Amino acid sequence: MMATVLQSRVTFAGLSFDPLVLSEPLMWLVLASFLGSALLHHRDEQWARITAVTGWGLFGAFWLVLIPHFVLTQKSFVEGIGSVAAVPLSLYAGYLLWNGRDSLFVLTRAIGTMGIVYVPFLTIEPLRQFLVEVVTDQTGFLMALLGVDPVVVDGFSHNGIEIVTKQYPYESTFWFDHEEGPVTYNILLACTGIGSISIFAGAILAVSAPWRRKLRALAATAAVIYVLNLFRNVFIAIAFGLQRMQVFEGPIMSLFGISDPRMVSYYLADRILAQVGSVVVLVGLTWILVRELPEMTVLVEDLLFMLTGNEYDLEAAFHTPDAETSATPGDD
């Protein structure tokens, strides 16, 4: 048994397709559009606007294609709701930018910068393998401190039993022995925290602020996310591997459409508790970060406007003297 689903092919209306394959060219087009807009912004604002609006339209298509993956394959309520909401929000952002809301150029630049941070880990296999296996080793070390020491195996076989498809042949699978059969928990790229780190990196690096404060905020944020993500991995691995959350089996199996009752611990630990908890933590981290880097309020204000339709002035609420006094010539 494995906790992660590596195949993402879905069948809808009689058609079978892989959302991840369809999303890849859209990802590159979005990244090219957003970064192209950032490069054009100081030279030709009109073309920068056209390029950015095109990118937002493609970004909506990107999330539209991924909805079946998050809803049907991953069976994630948090990611599913997020991907569904991202489609109209992306189109709305493009509409607002086209009609003169120039502050959205910052959000456009932030997403492009996020791609620069994240895409290398997605596309360069040695880099991805290094990060995944380092996180696996650190997760295993923390579990050992708690007295839990599962075997770590690669993605091909263990004792002659194939446990993971050859799509993911890294030494990143925790093997827990049980009388009913082994339970395995895979560390994937999504389990490394690099996605959340790249989101905050894009936001921090995109705003206009002294580089010293931006780099300080980025280092602290990345460290906090990385460490919290390790604890998240440990929680899910122990809860699932040791079957510690076998409660409400019937309702959970019906809710997620699963047939093996042993998967209940995984879906409770990961899809409900860990993912909801991650959202809460990221919102709290954003609040703390904005206090340290008030220039990021432009991003939060735009997101709040798109979600509520109301204008907010957060700069005064999060203004700190350090935002002024640290902006010395030597900082930039």
SS3 assignment, position 243: coil
Which residues touch 1 (CB under 8 Å, ≥6 apart)?
A: 181, 182, 183, 184, 260, 262, 263
243 conformational bin, left if phi > 0, alpha if psi -120 to 50, beta if neither = left
SS3 assignment, position 16: strand
The one-letter amino acid at 120: P
Q: Whole-angstrom distance between the N-terminal and C-terminal Cα of the chain? A: 53
Give phi and psi for 228, each to the nearest 5. Answer: -60, -35
Question: Helix 104-123 to helix 125-145 angle, to the nearest 10 degrees?
Answer: 80
Q: Is 271 an active-site residue?
A: no
Q: Which of 49, 128, 213, 232 is catalytic?
A: 232
Give the residues across from 183 on adjacent strands. Answer: 176
| CA gap 7, 73 in Å, rounded | 8
Residue showing tokens 């929680």: 235
| CA gap 116, 124 in Å, rounded | 13
Q: Is 49 an active-site residue?
A: no
Q: Which of 109, 128, 191, 213 is catalytic?
A: 191
Q: Is 167 exposed, middle or buried (0-12, 13-18, 19+ CB in 10 A)?
A: exposed
Write out the catalytic residue numbers.
191, 232
